[in-house]
Amino acid sequence: MKKLFSLGLIVLLTLALLTACGGASDGSKDKGAGNVTYKDGTYTAEEPEFDDHGWKAQIEIKVEGGKITEVNFDEVNQEGKKKSEDTEYIERFKQQKNVDIVDAYDTLEKGLVEKQDPDAVDTYTGATGATEKFKALAKEALKEAQSK
C-alpha cells in the first residue's frame, strides 16, 4: 500500500512539474508582452530637450507584418551630429567606461527586434543611461503602433 501511494505521488508530482515547465507545443516561447501585434508603419520618438551634455536621443522603429523589423536609435547634438558618428566622443566614452557606445546602440536595437518588447530588452552594462533612454523612447514610439 505504501509503495502504491508513493508511486501515485511521484506520478502526480511529475505531471505537475511537466505542466508548470511546459511550453507551447510548436516550439515557440511565450514572450509575454512580446506577443503584441503592432500596426505596420514607421514610428518615431525623441527626447523633448537636449541633456546636460548637449545630446538628444531619437528612435525610429519600423513594423512590418505586425512585428518590429528594424530599429534605429542614436543621439544628436544641437548641430545635428549623431553620437554614433562622433569619433572623438566614441573614443572618450570607450576610455572612460570601457564601453563601445556604437555597440551598445546596436545591441539595444537588435534586442528590441528579437524580443518585440522594450521592457524585455537587457540593460547594456556601462551604458545604463542610453539603455533607459532607448527603452523610454521605444515605448513612446510604439504607443501609436499598438493594435487595438
Quote the pLDDT of residue 37. 85
Q: What is the pLDDT of residue 18?
A: 42
Grid coordinates standing for 122? Answer: 537587457
Chain centroid to CA 114: 8
- Here the cell at position 70 is 528594424
pLDDT of residue 1: 56
Cell numbers describing residue 110: 537588435
Query: Full-prediction pTM beyond 0.85?
Result: no
The grid coordinates of residue 133 equal: 533612454
Residue-level pLDDT at 25: 36
59 to each of 43, 64, 75, 78, 95, how far by Cα in Å? 8, 17, 9, 16, 26
Residue-by-residue pLDDT tens, the chain, 148 positions: 555 444 444 544 444 444 444 433 333 334 444 567 899 999 999 999 999 999 999 999 999 999 999 999 999 999 999 999 999 999 999 999 999 999 999 999 999 999 999 999 999 999 999 999 999 999 999 999 985 5
* Domains in the chain: ranges and CATH: 36-143 (3.90.1010.20)
Dist CA 58 CA 50 (whole Å): 11
Selection from 124, 112, 130 nearest residue 36 by Cα: 112
State which amino acid sits at residue 77: N
Per-residue CA distances from 105 to 66, 73, 99, 102, 138 (Å): 23, 6, 11, 5, 13
